[in-house]
Structure 1
Amino acid sequence: MDVFAKIDGISDENLHKKFKLLRDEPYYRGAKSIIEGWVSDFRDRDNKIAREFQENFHSAFWEFYLHAVFKLVGVTLSHQYNRPDFVVEGTGGFYVEAVVSEIKKGGMPESERTFDDHFNMLLPIKTDAEFSNLIDEAIVRHSNSISEKLNKYTGYFNRKGKWIPGYKECAWVSVDKPFVVALASYDQINYGKEYIYSMLALLYGQYYSPENNIFEQKKTVTKPGGSAQIDLGIFFNERMRDVSAIIFSNTVTLGKMSSLSKSIQVDPAHVINVRFDYTFPHYKIHEVSEDQPEHLLDGLYIFHNPNAKVKFDCREFRDNYVLEISMFDDHILMSDARRPIVARYCSPLGGKYNQLIMSTAASEFNGTVAYE
């Protein structure tokens, strides 16, 4: 499948900006090649994903990435059925519905991202007000996305009051196998700074305070710009028991593609990742190169539902050290796997200012200059 080929009926002005960058810009030549590898054996069961990729981008891009992930970890995908999005076969099989959280209608578009927004990836969130401005918006968008996909699985009444059967009623779907929602965040221009904070709050009710450097149990947040209360800790709601886990990332971006390209060949991008580590200093600065690459699975997380009807237990993900997060006795547990990416900074200027950039990030995140 050639997802970059011209499609009849799509004019150039209707192409998504990110698609055009990948297709046309020499800077993204390596990234384009990686995506072509991802989709070489992708089965377009609805005959529409190439169009979706070119016009709307994010949802198709996320599915291409997930396909590459499943192929890498070694699970077997069935291409026989057109829903859910991914059907994993075998005794350890499971079902995955993919979804993205996009910027709300009328929200500030990514085209208005400024140099300050870009440079601020090197700076941690330091105040509770700044944190809530970012995270509460993410919580609202993610809550809507997860609810939409849960409805698709369980069935729902549409706006006309008609019952729409769920995927669980399909003959090929077994309710004894895990149902997983795979969610990627593109919900605001600074989604790269969300890390896992929005999901810890939304799923487990653990809301972080950067000013106090602690997590606090919280039941709701107020929808930004409104008065509606959005539930937190939704994994403890009865309705969510059908969701075994959430696969999540907020780093599957064009920056991810630059980083993967930089990892396997000479690339004009200069990419650094800020990674959390249990050992001091807790924030390590990772300059991406062929010797110190970024892996496809870096920045990918699995959040387990402690109250799920069917637990999600995938050996292939564990064997590939995907970072898994769960809750036990009111404590958040993180597997000792890949060091998570807290922030990523990409510069088209190459390594011209790499020492300044790296020392700035290290000192801001750690309070001292300490990077490796």
Structure 2
Amino acid sequence: MDLFEPRLPEAKLHDAFRLIRFDPDYAKVLPVIQNWATGLLDRKGESQKFIKEFQSTFNSSMWELYLNRAMSDLGCSVDYSKSAPDFVVRGPGNYEFNIEAVISDQPPTTVQQKTFSEQDFKVRGALKLVGKIRDKLNLYRGINGKKHPYSSLSHVRGRPFVIAVAPFDSNISLFQNNELINLVLFGMAPPELVGPDHGKQDKLGSLLTPSGSPVEMGIFTKDFFKEISAVFFSTVGTFGKAVVESQIERLVRSTRYRVMDKDKVELGSMLWQVGTHRFQFTNLTYLTTLRWEGGNQIGGADTLIQPASLFQSVSRNPVRP
């Protein structure tokens, strides 16, 4: 079944779907995303619902498409005869587990704030992540009147239950890297980036909702969430991945964390200079390096901007020091 054959009136189509479907510049991306759906659209009674959600709400379906492709690339198989949880997976060595996918989305009527507060962004993002994880745990347990909780299903009992979550709750939610999920899962506050305590991370037990109610952080340190075996989290399971795979002419920005022992850095290496430095390799290929010292190591990040047609080959052979 064709993901991109419109099934809804144009007014109900999501802006992202409308852009991909009708902009001729993205024609090569459509078959890439369609390929990601292999198997998902074979589910009885589910395909029509999935396609309509993909066309109308987009983000949650795109996340499931990304996960579906990821399972295949990781050498796993999915039992599409089971409609719940989202992915009944068999991995290498016949290891079986279940994945329930969820996103922290924003309501269609949400108005983006004109002024940006980093603290508000982080608190709101963390609260949304922990709320969505709790919602899926409730589905597993059968709380709130669910007739057939996941825990009662024969293919779920005795197997790891994994929640795959991605943030789409604001226009910049995908910039949050791993700070907020570390806070949610382990109660780890963001690291200090300047001063004598550089790299230090404190523990943070809870955050306050706008109404002042405390919400516990560090869910993997508490027995209440013990049924959750693991959490998959990504801020890169997006349309941009399909753009890269299609290799259409677009500039792609990627950021990669790096760390190196000082004694392994080549003497005079320009790419491991402490501080922020910028390099231009070609007319459309740029690299920004951010480096800081910590003990016997130098850490930081590479932000690379380059054409999508070069991204895959360069990412397999990253810039060397």
TM-score (norm 2): 0.77
1:6: Cα distance to partner?
2.4
Q: Is the 8 A contact 2:14 2:55 kept in 1?
A: yes
Match of 1:64 in 2: 65
1:19: Cα distance to partner?
0.5
- RMSD of equivalent CA atoms: 2.9
- Give the structure, 1 or 2, with the largest relative contact order (CA under 8 Å, sep 6 or more): 1
Is residue 197 from structure 1 mapped to residue 179 from structure 2 by the alignment? Answer: yes
1:211: Cα distance to partner?
5.2
> Which of 278, 282, 285 does residue 303 from structure 2 map onto?
285
Match of 1:356 in 2: none
CA distance in 2, matches of 1:171, 1:106: 40
Is residue 155 from structure 1 mapped to residue 158 from structure 2 by the alignment? Answer: no
Match of 1:5 in 2: 5
Match of 2:34 in 1: 36
> Which of 194, 198, 202 does residue 216 from structure 1 map onto?
202
Question: Which portions of structure 1, spanning 4 or more consecutive aligned residues, are displaced by more than 4 angstroms?
Answer: 209-213
Q: Is the 8 A contact 1:202 1:234 kept in 2?
A: yes
CA distance in 2, matches of 1:6, 1:104: 22
Relative distance call for 1:137 and 1:58 in structure 2 (3 A) is: same
Structure 2, unmatched stretches of 5+, are: 261-271, 273-290, 292-299
> What does residue range 1-372 of structure 1 map to in structure 2 within 5 Å?
1-7=1-7, 10-45=8-43, 46-47=46-47, 48-89=49-90, 91-103=94-106, 107-109=110-112, 130-156=117-143, 158=144, 162=145, 164-175=147-158, 177-210=159-192, 212=194, 213=198, 214-223=200-209, 225-261=210-246, 265=247, 267-279=248-260, 280=272, 281=291, 282-288=300-306, 289-293=308-312
CA distance in 2, matches of 1:58, 1:294: 28
SS in 2 for 1:293: helix
SS in 2 for 1:250: coil
TM-score (norm 1): 0.67
Q: 1:32 corresponds to which letter in structure 2?
A: L
CA distance in 1, matches of 2:313, 2:244: 6
CA distance in 2, matches of 1:103, 1:294: 35
CA distance in 2, matches of 1:30, 1:273: 21
Q: 2:304 corresponds to which letter in structure 1?
A: H
Q: Is the 8 A contact 1:182 1:248 kept in 2?
A: yes
CA distance in 1, matches of 2:40, 2:138: 26
> Identity of counterpart residues, as a percentage?
25
CA distance in 2, matches of 1:77, 1:220: 37
Relative distance call for 1:55 and 1:105 in structure 2 (3 A) is: closer
Q: 2:154 corresponds to which letter in structure 1?
A: A
Residues 258-309 of structure 1: CA distance to partner in whole angstroms, max 9, x if unpaired?
3333xxx3x23111212111134421132344444289xx9xxxxxxxxxxx
1:54: Cα distance to partner?
0.5
1:104: Cα distance to partner?
5.4
CA distance in 1, matches of 2:55, 2:108: 20
